[in-house]
């Protein structure tokens, strides 16, 4: 009976018990590779152009051979059906893109999105002034800009970018205006402390104006307003040149 039990339960030698469990040192190396793999994924995700192994090696301070090995593992991982994107080798580099089998779904979703917000230069200037000076009245806006802006205010109200903020306690009780939550959402701002600086606002105006035909009135053609990347700053809006005709 004892002989049968001994045959069923092999005896381990002390040297075998003292051996390092498999995966001890390899696990540390694997963790390093996982961190490198995560870094490669982040870089490929944010780059618009295909990024090469050489560029990645220089940026991460790693040998090209190791970068290539880990990148191949990352590519293989994204080939799994649980991922909707894939990392493709394009023009000698790597770029992330949606998988062909999901193109129809992506296109349908994009079509369902609202068109990008577009504002005329006059509306942009008025909105910025309200954002910096709020709450502010229509006459105060007109005094700073030097032009009539009733039509612009109506447009901003319809777009729900501004709202009434009561009445100012002066003669005539003019309406006060302030920006709305929709304003923050549309321009990607956490709060009003993230309004662009004066320099950034001037650049936005320049870009908006350059998109319009020189022969057209500044309000005739709407310009896209890329305020989502604005940096936090405390600033005041620029003074506007005096114009002769009222705006719409």
- What pLDDT does residue 30 have? 74
Residue 241 counted as domain residue: no
**pLDDT of res. 210:** 58
- Per-residue pLDDT, 164: 93
Of 114, 138, 108, 113, nearest in space to 126 by CA = 138
CB 87 within 8 A of CB 77: no
234 lies in some domain? no
Report pLDDT for 18: 46
Q: In a structure prediction context, what are the per-residue pLDDT tens digits for the chain, which is 248 residues long?
A: 555 555 555 554 544 544 444 444 444 447 888 999 999 999 999 988 899 999 999 999 999 999 999 999 999 999 999 999 999 888 889 999 899 899 889 888 877 776 666 778 888 888 888 998 889 998 898 888 877 777 889 999 998 999 999 999 988 899 999 999 888 888 778 888 888 776 676 666 666 555 544 434 444 444 444 443 333 334 444 444 444 444 54
46 in a structural domain: yes
Question: To 10 degrees, the CA torsion angle through 8, 9, 15, 20?
Answer: 100
Residue 147 inside a domain? The answer is yes
Q: pLDDT tens digit string along 35-68? A: 999 999 999 999 888 999 999 999 999 999 999 9
**pLDDT given for residue 9 in this prediction:** 53
- The domain tally of the chain equals 2
Residue 23 lies in a domain: yes
> What pLDDT sits at residue 209?
58
Residue 165 dihedral angles phi and psi, to the nearest 5°:
-125, 40
Closest CA to 69 of 53, 47, 55: 53
For every residue of the chain, DSSP letters joined together read: -HHHHHHHSPPPPHHHHTSPPTTHHHHHHHHHHHHHHHHHHHHHHH-SSPBPHHHHHHHHT--HHHHHHHHHHHHHHHTSTT-SEEEEEETTEEEEEE-GGGHHHHHHHHHHSPPPPEE-HHHHHHHHHHHHH-SEEHHHHHHHHSS--HHHHHHHHHTTSEEEEEE-SSTT-PEEEEE-HHHHHHTT-SSGGGPPPHHHHHHHHHHHHHTS-TTS-TTTS-EE---TTPPP----PPPPPP-SS---
Domain boundary among 72, 101, 130: 101
Cα separation, 67 vs 59, whole angstroms: 11
> What pLDDT was estimated at residue 63?
95
Place of tokens 């793999």: 37
Is the residue at 174 inside a domain? yes
In this structure, what CATH number is given to the domain that contains residue 48? Answer: 1.10.10.10
Look at residue 225 in the predicted model and tell me its pLDDT: 42
Q: What is the pLDDT of residues 161-172, one digit of tens each?
A: 999 999 999 888
Is 140 found in the same domain as 83?
no
CA 224 to chain centre: 16
Which SS3 state, helix, strand or coil, does residue 17 take?
helix
Domain membership of residue 10 (yes or no) is: no
Q: Is residue 2 domain-resident? A: no
For residue 179 the two structure tokens come to 């920006």
* pLDDT of res. 4: 54
Residue ranges making up the domain that contains 93: 15-101
Contact indicator for 159, 199 with CB cutoff of 8 Å: no
């Amino acid at each position: 009976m004892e002989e049968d039990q001994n045959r069923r339960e092999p005896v381990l030698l002390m040297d075998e018990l003292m051996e390092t469990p498999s995966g001890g040192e390899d696990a540390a190396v694997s963790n390093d590779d996982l961190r490198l793999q995560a870094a490669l994924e982040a870089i490929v995700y944010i780059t618009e152009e295909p990024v090469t192994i050489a560029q990645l090696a220089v940026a991460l301070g790693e040998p090209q051979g190791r970068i290539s090995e880990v990148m191949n593992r990352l590519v293989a991982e994204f080939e799994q059906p649980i991922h909707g994107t894939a990392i493709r080798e394009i023009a000698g580099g790597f770029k992330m893109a949606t998988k062909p089998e999901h193109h129809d779904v992506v296109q349908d979703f994009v079509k369902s999105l609202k068109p990008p917000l577009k504002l005329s230069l006059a509306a942009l200037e008025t909105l910025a002034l309200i954002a910096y000076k709020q709450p502010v009245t229509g006459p105060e806006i007109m005094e700073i800009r030097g032009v009539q802006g009733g039509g612009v205010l109506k447009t901003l109200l319809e777009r729900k970018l501004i709202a009434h903020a009561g009445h100012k306690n002066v003669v005539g009780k003019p309406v006060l205006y302030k920006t709305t939550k929709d304003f923050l959402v549309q321009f990607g701002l956490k709060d009003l402390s993230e309004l662009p600086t004066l320099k950034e606002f001037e650049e936005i105006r320049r870009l908006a104006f350059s998109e319009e035909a020189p022969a057209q009135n500044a309000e005739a053609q709407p310009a896209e307003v890329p305020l989502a990347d604005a940096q936090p700053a405390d600033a005041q809006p620029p003074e506007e040149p005096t114009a002769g005709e009222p705006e719409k």
